Amino acid sequence: MTDTLASPSPLEHSHAGVVPHQVQGVLTFILADIVVFGMIFVDFLVQRYDQLAVFNESSVTLNNWTGIINTLILLTSGLFVALAVQAAKRGEARQARSWILASFVIGLGFGITKMFEYSDKLSQGITMYTNDFYMFYYTMTGAHFLHFLGGMIALAALWFRLADKKIDNKEMINIESVALYWHMVDLLWIFIFPLLYLMGV
């Protein structure tokens, strides 16, 4: 297959100060999203200040290994998406598609681990009404999980879109947009994991 239309990423184009509107839109969305998460993190610490014992006792009930495995899964999935962007820049559509598939498949691991974790907690009768720590636990990880699902759908859609397609500037912007969103899922987890899983130890 001849898929050799090399195209720099939209952000590489942007050294002259011009970022495509779609990428600007995605960056604005990401910024708004991470600001909201940032405020939830701060609220978590404010509540923790008042209820340190409850937060620490609840935090130790979470399985650290689940959190570590999920972090490694998202970091690796993020690497694969970054490699997909590099392949797309070289015009290698099939390779980009393979990296996107790899990212999706390893990303599934996060969903499966999370399902086991939620079902374990719910089977013990632990819900978001148990105490304030678990309210934050379900709110943060639940909102993050919805973002994760959105990212998985976007990755799958991109994989189908790239079938037998050459990578032109428009497609490069789509790839970059999905990649940016997926990295947001990754970076939010980098803060959520220590806040919830590590700090009570």
Partner 1 sequence: MSSAISSRFLVFVWALLVVATLGTNLLVYFHALTSQSLAAVVMLVAAIKIRAVFRHYMELKYAPPSWQLIFDAWLLVVTLCLVVGFWITPV
Q: Which two tokens stand for residue 102?
A: 């790899």
Span near partner 1 by CB under 8 A; candidates 28-36, 101-109, 112-120, 164-172? 28-36
Cα dihedral angle (185, 41, 141, 11), rounded to 10 degrees?
-10
Binding-site member from 81, 106, 167, 178 for partner 1 (CB under 8 A): 81
Closest separation between CB of residue 85 and partner 1, Å? 8
Kindly state whether residue 90 participates in binding partner 1, applying the rule CB under 8 A.
yes
Residue (34 or 101) nearer to partner 1, CB = 34
Kindly state whether residue 41 participates in binding partner 1, applying the rule CB under 8 A.
yes
Closest separation between CB of residue 45 and partner 1, Å? 3
Q: Which amino acid is at 143?
A: A
Kindly state whether residue 58 participates in binding partner 1, applying the rule CB under 8 A.
no
Which residues lie closer than 8 Å to 4 by C-beta, 6 or more apart? Answer: 90, 91, 92
Kindly state whether residue 112 participates in binding partner 1, applying the rule CB under 8 A.
no
- With b for 16 or more beta-carbon neighbours within 10 A and e for fewer, the 44-65 pattern comes to beebbeeeeebbeebbeebeee
Residue (60 or 122) nearer to partner 1, CB = 60
Kindly state whether residue 36 participates in binding partner 1, applying the rule CB under 8 A.
no
- The residue written with tokens 């006792």 in the block is 57
How many residues of this chain interact with partner 1, rule: CB under 8 A?
50
Residue (81 or 100) nearer to partner 1, CB = 81
Q: Which two tokens stand for residue 51?
A: 């209820």
DSSP designation for 63: -
- With b for 16 or more beta-carbon neighbours within 10 A and e for fewer, the 90-100 pattern comes to ebbbebbbbbb
Rounded to a whole number of angstroms, the distance between the first and last alpha carbons of the chain is 54
Residues that bind partner 1 (CB under 8 A): 6, 8-9, 11-15, 17, 19, 27, 31, 34-35, 38, 41-42, 45-46, 48-49, 52, 64, 68, 71-72, 75-76, 78-79, 81-83, 85-86, 89-90, 179-180, 183, 186-187, 190-191, 193-195, 198-199, 201
